[in-house]
Structure 1
Amino acid sequence: MSTPEADPAAETEPPATPRPRAGLWHHTGFRRLWIGETVSQFGTMVSQLALPLVAVLVLHASAFDVGLLTALETLAFAVLSLPVGAWVERMRFRSVLIVNDLVRAAALGWIPLAQLLGVLSMDQLYAVALVTGVSTVFFDVAYQSYLPELVGRDLLLEGNAKLQASESVSQIAGPSVGGLLIQAITAPYAVLVDALSFLWSAGYVTAIDARPPKPEPGPDRHLRREIGEGLRFVLGNRMLRAIAMCTGTFNLFSSMTLAVFYLLLARDLHLSAGVIGLLSSTSAVGGLVGALAAGRLAARVGQGPAIWIAAAAVGPFGFVAPFVHRDWTLALLAAAQIAVSMGNVVYNITQVSFRQGLCPPGLLGRMNATMRFLVWGTMPVGGLLGGVLGSAIGVRPTLLVAAVGASLAFLPVLLSPLRRARTLPSAQDQEPSGQPPLPISA
């Protein structure tokens, strides 16, 4: 579904102050970030469908090839996340966002050009996956760290909910449009939409007036020590540790699913690109509902329970895909994807807002990078494992194994203090030791 300035401090402008009752609607900086990210997410949804179909339909890739492609897209999170967190804190977040939008636009733009020149190959798809993955690591760490700086901590839940809502709308329109584009102009040329969307995003982020000065380097900065501080902050906190275990486990098995899912639809069920795009779009309806409901659910049951309930609710729906056929079960698959997307969005809005509010400003980049390392670092393993299992035991058995694993991912948050924590601690609640106290139970 789908996350970093240039002038001296004397020339900077303060962030636009939102009107009290209008929230972020009148926050100019956030609105520009929101518009840019929405368009970029739309393009990403097109590309998320087009890239595996380039491999399957144009280059006739095997299950292992598609699994390797899936793994390479997220390999950078396992390898680079920790140092990137420390590096990004030394940069202006806004500049990191702009540069990495441009890098991803250039990398993705190579795919239609290579197809036009008649030289497109799986090796080039692998290279594009690696480059865009590295840029996404930088972008996501800076993006999640930039939001608190841009809107303030009191508006984080609203900001994340709006960003998730627009991501869900993009997920509704993107795959449908992508499927039609793939049928009309073929998958390699459909990727051009994503490249252009990153250019659009870079333009809107550039237009944000709030330009904080570049962080001053500390007198004794040391990369290894800074990485260690981020790791200790996350792993030393029972709630953050549980969230990392839950999300990392779910991402592992979701990547296994993704490695063979489009093989099932395109090769085994012989569905057209338009139908595959429509199926992918239906899941985003649940994401939009989840974005609208996350705040209300957290207010009703408490922030901690909202996290584990959402995580537990999505697991059982993964058992639909292994048994789907070209009949009425396709409608059941669409309904299951809606439910999974709704639960995922509620979970993400609640836990990401908690993380951003809990972390001291000086640790935001490293905290986000550490979490990305722990929760996205499992994805290349899952993608590669899905490709290997898909080749060895078949597509449907691999989907069944992934469904069993994903259904158990909620256990770490259920067995943590989050289970009964109606109100989660924030950075203001930090004890002198640097770790938050246990939350107040309901």
Structure 2
Amino acid sequence: MTQVAARPSVLGERNFMLFWAGQAVSKTGGAVTTVALPLVMIQVLSADAFTMGVLNAAIWLPWLVIGLQAGAWADRVRKRPLMIACDIASAVLLASVPVAAWLGVLTLAHILFVAFAVGCATVLFTAAYSAYVPFLVGRDNLLGANSRLHMTEQAAKVAGPGIGGVLATVTGAVAGLMVDAASFVVSALCLRSIRAVEPATEPKPRRGILAEVAEALKVVVRDPYLSVLTLHSGAVNFCMAGLQALWVLFLVRTAGLGGWVVGALTAAIAIGGVLGATLAPWYSRRVGSARALRLGSPVTALFGLLFPLADPGIGIVLALVGVMGSSMGTAANSVIAVSFRQAYCPREMLGRVAMSIRFVIFGVNPIGSLLGGVLGTVLDLRTAIWILVIANIAAGFTLYIGPIRTGRDLPVPTPEEKA
């Protein structure tokens, strides 16, 4: 049985490079869809603000439906085959949308079903992914690995919107979804080529899914660090989900900006994410992981106040600076928090604890999306954006609850303490 040792060179070895490459291609395809799918809804189905909120809710609803169970399922099986199956399922589902559009039978119900089903596959993939990365690179390399993966994800979001914009102009927005489908196939092939063999899960008496889920939830709720990080991420995601439901509609219909600006702003978000993920390891070491978290979120969220100023002319520049600055803080916080959790939690509970946290932080997204849709319907879109941006700034201060508000670094247990 091949074990991947934790050593400095592991991030340059074949297994991690394959994993990294597959995720880079898949995230690029996903970034194309973030622009293509809203444009399909607006251009092909003439969606309004509430419909866009429903779509975003459908994407995130699986976290509420199967988020908790997925972690327990992932802890019981080998992670790589599960991720491959999820990639293949997502490819087939996404390819069905452009096929239906080209045949002239695309409907809102079809898109909502695909959004929900791909969301389910994403939940299962994420549960396996959270536990697979520590196995693949070792605990000592987690910060470096997560920095590379997150940086690449953000870099993909620079290229993806541009690809989506070109496809929308030349062949129509639905073609972007076919690119995303192909990217899932590439990811599956890369995962299939990894040679590292996962250790068999230790045989333990099965207590049932509900008992295992309850155990993980208890850890998250009772632990003073995990509970605060979960509260913070949930509050931020709630606000961001509302913004995501409205931002394309706001830019196109209220600000009167073209599709190229939508792509440029999406790329700016990604560039900020690349910078934040790249600087996260250095920043965390320089000021301390706990201090980096509590300083980063509320301060960088202030940049979001520039986004509602988007208009032709200088408003575009202000919006670009706003989304880039806020995304830097979000990305840096994400790398630091995820790396801490992967090193902090017991290995046999990684999948369940990670998914219990994601159940909360992503489970609020459907509610936030619907709230965004309602605000955009009852109020004008710009006012709705202002409300959500200010709420996001306030959400950053949740990190000042509990032990994270003091001290320099987050605690990391020794291997003996984790056992």
TM-score by length of 1: 0.91
The reply to whether residue 262 of structure 1 matches residue 251 of structure 2 is no
Distance in 1 (alpha carbons) for counterparts of 2:237 and 2:93: 25
Distance in 1 (alpha carbons) for counterparts of 2:398 and 2:256: 39
Letter in 1 for 2:108: M
1:127-206 matched pairs, under 5 angstroms: 127-206=113-192
Deviation at 1:272, TM superposition (A): 2.6
Letter in 1 for 2:146: N
The reply to whether residue 13 of structure 1 matches residue 5 of structure 2 is no
Please give the per-residue CA displacement for 1:74-105, whole angstroms capped at 9, x wherever unaligned.
00112211111111111111111101011111
Distance in 2 (alpha carbons) for counterparts of 1:177 and 1:183: 10
Deviation at 1:341, TM superposition (A): 1.3
C-alpha distance 268-327 of structure 1, shift in aligned 2 (>3 A):
same
Q: Which residue of 2 aligns with 1:49?
A: 35
Please give the per-residue CA displacement for 1:150-183, whole angstroms capped at 9, x wherever unaligned.
1110100000001011112111111112111111
Distance in 2 (alpha carbons) for counterparts of 1:425 and 1:241: 14
The reply to whether residue 24 of structure 1 matches residue 11 of structure 2 is yes
Give secondary structure in 2 for the equivalent of 1:60.
coil
Deviation at 1:420, TM superposition (A): 2.6
1:27-176 matched pairs, under 5 angstroms: 27-176=13-162
The reply to whether residue 292 of structure 1 matches residue 272 of structure 2 is no
Give secondary structure in 1 for the equivalent of 2:174.
helix
Deviation at 1:18, TM superposition (A): 6.8
Distance in 2 (alpha carbons) for counterparts of 1:65 and 1:366: 33
Distance in 1 (alpha carbons) for counterparts of 2:414 and 2:2: 26
Q: Which residue of 2 aligns with 1:387?
A: 373
Point out the structure with the larger helix share: 2
The reply to whether residue 236 of structure 1 matches residue 225 of structure 2 is no
Q: Which residue of 2 aligns with 1:212?
A: 198
Please give the per-residue CA displacement for 1:13-54, whole angstroms capped at 9, x wherever unaligned.
333x5764x4512x2211111000000000000001111111
1:400-419 matched pairs, under 5 angstroms: 400-419=386-405
Distance in 2 (alpha carbons) for counterparts of 1:216 and 1:415: 37
Give secondary structure in 2 for the equivalent of 1:59.
coil
Judge conservation of contact 2:251–2:310 (CA < 8 Å) in 1. no
Letter in 2 for 1:71: A
Distance in 2 (alpha carbons) for counterparts of 1:69 and 1:142: 25
Distance in 1 (alpha carbons) for counterparts of 2:96 and 2:399: 42
Judge conservation of contact 2:6–2:138 (CA < 8 Å) in 1. no
Distance in 2 (alpha carbons) for counterparts of 1:23 and 1:34: 12
Deviation at 1:221, TM superposition (A): 2.4
Deviation at 1:323, TM superposition (A): 2.8
Distance in 2 (alpha carbons) for counterparts of 1:114 and 1:220: 43
C-alpha distance 300-260 of structure 1, shift in aligned 2 (>3 A):
same
C-alpha distance 379-104 of structure 1, shift in aligned 2 (>3 A):
same
| Unpaired stretches in structure 1, ≥5 consecutive residues | 1-11, 435-442
When structure 1 is superposed on structure 2, of 53-62 and 265-274 the one drifting more is 265-274
| Unpaired stretches in structure 2, ≥5 consecutive residues | none
Distance in 2 (alpha carbons) for counterparts of 1:211 and 1:113: 38
Judge conservation of contact 1:360–1:427 (CA < 8 Å) in 2. no
Distance in 2 (alpha carbons) for counterparts of 1:338 and 1:59: 31
Deviation at 1:259, TM superposition (A): 1.0
Q: Which residue of 2 aligns with 1:340?
A: 326
Judge conservation of contact 2:241–2:365 (CA < 8 Å) in 1. yes
Give secondary structure in 2 for the equivalent of 1:408.
helix
The reply to whether residue 321 of structure 1 matches residue 336 of structure 2 is no
Give secondary structure in 1 for the equivalent of 2:201.
coil
Distance in 2 (alpha carbons) for counterparts of 1:155 and 1:325: 44
Letter in 1 for 2:51: D
Identity within the alignment, %: 35
Distance in 1 (alpha carbons) for counterparts of 2:415 and 2:132: 22
Distance in 2 (alpha carbons) for counterparts of 1:190 and 1:255: 22
Please give the per-residue CA displacement for 1:284-310, whole angstroms capped at 9, x wherever unaligned.
221111122111111111010111112
Q: Which residue of 2 aligns with 1:311?
A: 297
Distance in 2 (alpha carbons) for counterparts of 1:103 and 1:170: 22
Q: Which residue of 2 aligns with 1:438?
A: none
